[in-house]
Amino acid sequence: MDDNFNEMITTVKETSVSRRYFLRVAGTVAFGVSVGGYAGVKEALPKIVKLADGRTAIPVSEGYLLVDQKKCQGCMSCMLACSLVNEGVENLSLSRIQVFQNSFEKWPNDLNIEQCRQCADPACLAACPEDALSIDARFGNVRSVVNMEKCVGCGACVEACPYTPSRPLVVPDKKYGGDLKARKCELCADAPYHWDTAGGGPQGKQACVEVCPVGAIQFTTKVPEQEGDSGYKVNLRDSTWAGLGYPNK
């Protein structure tokens, strides 16, 4: 699996005309110079978030993914890398991060990239009737580690997610005889096919971040603004990108 993943990274960075297509190569050079700063991230929230309705407070996640939709080239390498380290196969349908393209729109509305937000108050966790989702301190309190033995594939987590598309997935699992089981982004914390011996999670490496050829995905430990999209969809472009025809604001 190490060789497979390393080969994917090499292929993505060597392979590459629309603006987005051109930047699959040129943007790699820009990324090598600098990925730029990002806006929309506030000072870290308290380590414990008090939930509504008198529920027990839970610690915030120690890691988050930020994306730059204007910088993304739509190559879907992040999706393939995600499924590879988590499922052992390259399958867009099994990716925790999703990139959607719309050929009827013009840049920058021709694609959309959606990642799990590691919500301070995760609706997916609260909705599970089997208590199959949990926040595990071993993995930096990422939302939510799925206990496959408990999960019955009911889809309650998918329905509860307030975002479109839903961040949790429910798909057939060969390890359980084809029964439906939930999956969700854990920042690669519990990825069984992770290429790095140190693993993923907030203290390790995330496949989507590592494989993106233009640096359109970034990891941060700061809690993003929870309302709206500004905290999660940010500007990762610098002045180098302006020279390639991209606004850096």
Provide mean pLDDT across the span 211-225.
96
For residue 56, the model assigns a pLDDT of 63
Question: Could you tell me which residue, 238 or 113, shows the higher pLDDT?
Answer: 113
For residue 24, the model assigns a pLDDT of 41
For residue 4, the model assigns a pLDDT of 58
Question: Could you tell me which residue, 190 or 232, shows the higher pLDDT?
Answer: 232
* pLDDT higher than threshold 70 for residue 8: no
Q: Residue 167 in contact with residue 122, Cβ under 8 Å?
A: no
Mean pLDDT is lowest, of 7-11, 161-165, 203-207, 209-213, for 7-11
For residue 28, the model assigns a pLDDT of 37
Taken in order of first residue, the domains within the chain and their CATH numbers are: 2-242 (3.30.70.20)
For residue 238, the model assigns a pLDDT of 85
For residue 136, the model assigns a pLDDT of 84
* pLDDT higher than threshold 90 for residue 171: yes
Q: What is the mean pLDDT of the chain?
A: 83
Question: Could you tell me which residue, 187 or 34, shows the higher pLDDT?
Answer: 187
Which residues are paired to 142 by β-bridges? 136
CA–CA gap between residue 19 and residue 21 (Å, rounded): 6
CA–CA gap between residue 50 and residue 58 (Å, rounded): 7
3-state SS assignment for residue 179: strand
> Residue 125: which pLDDT band, with cuts at 50, 70 and 90?
very high
Looking at the chain, the whole-number percentage of residues with pLDDT higher than 90 is: 65
* pLDDT higher than threshold 60 for residue 175: yes
* pLDDT higher than threshold 60 for residue 76: yes
CA–CA–CA angle 99, 166, 67 (5° rounding): 40
3-state SS assignment for residue 124: helix
pLDDT tens for 93-111 read: 999 999 999 999 998 889 9
3-state SS assignment for residue 235: coil
For residue 5, the model assigns a pLDDT of 55
Q: What six digits make up the tokens of 200?
A: 């993923």
Provide mean pLDDT across the span 8-30.
43
For residue 9, the model assigns a pLDDT of 53
Question: Could you tell me which residue, 8 or 195, shows the higher pLDDT?
Answer: 195
Total-model pTM: 0.78
